[in-house]
Amino acid sequence: MEQPEMEQPDAEPRKIKQPPVLFNKTQTLVAEIASLLGGPFIAYWNNPKGSVCHNDVVALHEILEKIGHQETIYLFIKSNGGNGQASLRLVNLLRQYCQRLVALVPLQCASAATMIALGANEILMGPLAYLTAVDTSLTHDLSPVDRHNNRVSVSLDELTRVIRLWQAEQSNKEDNPYKALFQHVHPLVIGAVDRAESLSLMLCKELLAYHVKDAATAEQIANTLNSKYPSHSYPILFEEARAVGLNVVHMSPLISTLLLELNEQYSEMGQPATTDFDEIRSHSNEILNIWESDDIQVHYREDKDWFYRIEERRWLILNDNSSWRRIERMNNRTKKSILHIS
């Protein structure tokens, strides 16, 4: 007699990978650094996908409310940049809680992060540290798209160089370079980028005004950082930063070593935790931005389902549970919660 087929049990659902949260380890380093500096210490860290953003201001406020008003605050910055207007808001908020702000830069402090450093009375730079130019690029709703169908950023310096090269190479000087340029870059994008460049200069002068009283000096520094360098990511090292007119000081080797150790812990927290279900479905779980001080950490975690739409050659977000998370230690107990920022 033929035996009936046995039903096969459903495959066990794949467990979604989670990024590590090393709160106890980072708190030990934060306390040691604050003790050596002799004042309150705040860490601000972005992974390569993170950026300076307006939500950072609310996250920083949570930290500052915890530590209260101080004479001096030491701010560790590691970031590839982001929104320059958010930089102004961050510095303005910090200045409401301290009389003196010291920026600690052991690694990259680029673009909008350089703007944050401009608002500090003093910038301590380690042997691996660099600042960058702050000329503004932006991603507009009408920006060109890349091969993945994603909008790309456009900078005024790039557009200016294209037009200058066109004019130098064209034999007929009456030809209009904009006619060809508009086929690739929308006119409204060019206008928006030009406006953003003016905004960048204004932001730099506003940030420097917190501690540079001579308006001419502030304008000279702002103009240099916005227009001198041929590359937005050009690394401004210690001597160059001093020549620009910034108040930079060499960081002590011990502080530099501890900050690099803290960066190593944050880098482990910020590693991508991607779960692939099949070739068109996956889940990403990644910590992008971290703020931390004594007994408190606030970080932003990306938590998304992704679906690859083959006909459009791009990944789409299906479920987005990304959020800011707060970890606080009170009475030797650790409390975790969601920080709702709309």
- pLDDT of 223-280, one tens digit each? 888 878 877 788 999 999 999 999 999 999 999 999 999 999 999 999 888 888 888 8
- Give the pLDDT confidence of 53-80 residue by residue, as tens digits: 999 999 999 999 999 999 999 999 999 9
pLDDT of residue 155: 62
Asked if the structure places residue 106 within a domain, the reply is yes
pLDDT confidence of residue 99: 93
Domain assignment of residue 203, yes or no = no
**Pair (268, 168) in one structural domain:** no
Residues 32 and 110 in one domain: yes
pLDDT at 157 (0 to 100): 61
What distances in angstroms separate CA 300 from CA 24, 27, 328, one per listed residue? 18, 18, 15
For residue 317, the model assigns a pLDDT of 81
147 and 121 in one domain? no
The reply to whether 248 and 122 lie within a common domain is yes
Residues 124 and 152 in one domain: no
With bands split at pLDDT 50, 70 and 90, how would you rate the model's confidence at 142? Answer: low
- First-to-last CA distance in the chain? 66
Query: In this structure, are 129 and 242 located in the same domain?
Result: yes
Q: How many domains does the chain have?
A: 2
Pairwise CA distance, residues 227 & 175, whole Å: 27
Q: Can you read off the two tokens belonging to residue 110?
A: 């680029």
Please indicate, yes or no, whether residues 65 and 105 belong to a single structural domain of this protein: yes
- Regarding whether 151 and 188 lie in a shared domain, the answer is yes
Residue 215 lies in a domain: no
Average confidence score pLDDT of the chain:
85
**In which band, very low, low, confident or very high, does the pLDDT at 43 lie, cut at 50, 70 and 90?**
very high
Q: Decide if 75 is inside a domain.
A: yes
Q: 165-215, pLDDT tens digit by residue?
A: 776 676 666 667 766 677 777 777 766 666 655 677 888 889 999 999 888
**What pLDDT sits at residue 1?**
47
In a shared domain, residues 108 and 183: no
Q: Is residue 36 part of a domain?
A: yes
Residue ranges making up the domain that contains 153: 141-192
Residues 112 and 161 in one domain: no
319 assigned to some structural domain:
no
Cα–Cα distance for residue pair 77/90, rounded to 1 Å = 12
Residue 222 has pLDDT above 60, yes or no: yes
- 106-110, 243-247, 305-309: the lowest-pLDDT one: 305-309
Q: What is the mean pLDDT of residues 41-53?
A: 93
pLDDT at 46 over 60: yes
Q: Which of these, 338, 334, 340, lies nearest to 27 by C-alpha position?
A: 334
Residue 32 lies in a domain: yes
Query: The domain that contains 46 carries what CATH number?
Result: 3.90.226
Same domain for 174 and 35, yes or no, is no
What confidence score (pLDDT) does residue 144 get? 72
Q: Check whether residue 176 and residue 34 sit in a common domain.
A: no
In a domain, 249, yes or no: yes
Which residue stretches of 286-325 are H helix?
none
